[in-house]
Structure 1
């Protein structure tokens, strides 16, 4: 019998219980509801991971809590190097963005960058993703080899394509798969919204509860099978979105297992484990 892989979560968030040491400074100036109402510390996340059977995680900076202050995800990764790496936020519009990227690439446990262009506190799609002022940032990212998680909507795909064409060495991970509108009877159309990105081998997809919750009522196979054919399981990785998601971490993993049950075992293993290690080798 094949040994099941260690499960890796590439999209949990953490918040400190010490606001004096880690003061709030959210992107856009507004703290998200989940950050205010159900924060989870690094140690609480570890307990939830142990309960769910999750081995390791890439801690994604809580943009709507700490903005560009990445100290908590970095400090937590340093305290638990066998379990965590950090994905920190960088302001690509800042005058020193390229230098910040180079510093990040030399920082232990700093494994990736996150850009927040939309979300619960920023419902519209920001228009700066491919702006000329961000080119020094993207050039530095390409040189550093750090993967960039981009939280964006489908409307931002033309901007992203511009980045991919200009900087073909940049690895991009789409948070929540850019929110395709998955719904019963709309599975193939939802796949069609992100299918144009399949031809770019540097684009990875992050499957989260934003996708798996709709797949509970939709026909998962009609969305996931063409997705797998187009991108390959080695370009898809699972993330919980805990605790931004209201469900407990074990339930979020159950949702992932249920959605992925339509796929072959080897592909499920890639999405739940090996693709994460490909993106973040320090988790190996």
Structure 2
């Protein structure tokens, strides 16, 4: 089992000082510390072999040193995905730095200040970051919130058409309304349109799974419907530890439960195989 969405929070604020966008830390930001070493312990207890460390942007902004340092320290267990400020003129160079010099295996683009205009995602400046990722052959994570997913997915479709060779990972089931019931379980025309691109992978995490669990809704039909659309070879799981509430063991259990009605081959692909294909280049060298 490979966790494709683990957030670290260091206990060393001197080496890794907070740098939240807008200067405001989320409430209780350091109440749930998750160092690299603690995460390894939790993974071992929960039967998770490897993890992709996704920069906790709400705490560290675009300073991805901790996830990159942790991946370099434990290369057989971790890989790093760094955050890029695609509103800055040097965003393409930033991609080349974090990937080429710091060993990141992917980048992430998302709105870090609520309510900002997501038009930046497909600006001429941001296109430099997208092109750099395609040239370096690293996937780009994108996170859409309910309030910006429609326009965000529209921007993304244009980018996918214009930038050949680009691999994109859409976080948190693209914030679909997964609790609305069948037959589509929140899948809409926007997501169907994106699914036509073979190089798009969708990630499910504790954000949608925890919401369904709290409401007493079986997640299996939701995951089965997404699997019907994308295929198991384009789906991955992530915990969202430190961002979502709950223990690591609870999050890993949610992931396993959500795929229990799929075939053994599909479960193996979703919980590990796809992640190795998308992020496993560094592990092959470790």
TM over 0.5: yes
Is residue 61 from structure 1 mapped to residue 55 from structure 2 by the alignment? Answer: yes
Q: How many residues align?
A: 276
What is the CA-CA distance between 1:41 and the residue it aligns to?
Answer: 1.0
Q: How does 1:1-284 map to 2 (within 5 A)?
A: 7-33=1-27, 35-117=29-111, 122=114, 126-153=118-145, 154-155=149-150, 156-185=152-181, 188-192=184-188, 194-216=191-213, 217-281=216-280, 282-284=282-284
Residue 11 of structure 1 aligns to a residue whose secondary structure is strand
Residue 122 of structure 2 aligns to a residue whose secondary structure is coil
Residue 54 of structure 1 aligns to a residue whose secondary structure is coil
Residue 121 of structure 2 aligns to a residue whose secondary structure is coil
What is the CA-CA distance between 1:189 and the residue it aligns to?
Answer: 4.6
Tell me, in whole angstroms, the C-alpha distance in 1 between the residues paired with 2:2 and 2:62.
Answer: 24
Tell me, in whole angstroms, the C-alpha distance in 2 between the residues paired with 1:9 and 1:126.
Answer: 28
Residues 124 and 177 of structure 1: is their aligned pair in 2 closer, same or farther, counting only changes over 3 Å? Answer: farther
Tell me, in whole angstroms, the C-alpha distance in 2 between the residues paired with 1:34 and 1:116.
Answer: 21
Q: Is the 1:168–1:202 contact (alpha carbons within 8 Å) kept by the matching residues of 2?
A: no
Per-residue displacement from partner, 1:210-244 (whole Å, max 9, x unpaired)?
22224443353442223212211111000000021
Tell me, in whole angstroms, the C-alpha distance in 2 between the residues paired with 1:181 and 1:125.
Answer: 22
Residues 17 and 219 of structure 1: is their aligned pair in 2 closer, same or farther, counting only changes over 3 Å? Answer: closer
Structure 2 residues not aligned, in runs of 5+: none
Of 25-34 and 154-163, deviating more is: 25-34
Per-residue displacement from partner, 1:187-218 (whole Å, max 9, x unpaired)?
61512252221101111111101222244433
Residues 16 and 222 of structure 1: is their aligned pair in 2 closer, same or farther, counting only changes over 3 Å? Answer: closer
Q: Is the 1:195–1:227 contact (alpha carbons within 8 Å) kept by the matching residues of 2?
A: no
Residues 123 and 283 of structure 1: is their aligned pair in 2 closer, same or farther, counting only changes over 3 Å? Answer: farther
Q: Is the 1:187–1:219 contact (alpha carbons within 8 Å) kept by the matching residues of 2?
A: no
Of 218-227 and 92-101, deviating more is: 218-227
Residues 124 and 187 of structure 1: is their aligned pair in 2 closer, same or farther, counting only changes over 3 Å? Answer: farther
What is the CA-CA distance between 1:111 and the residue it aligns to?
Answer: 0.7
Tell me, in whole angstroms, the C-alpha distance in 1 between the residues paired with 2:24 and 2:164.
Answer: 34
TM-score when normalising by structure 1: 0.90
TM-score when normalising by structure 2: 0.90
Of 104-113 and 202-211, deviating more is: 104-113
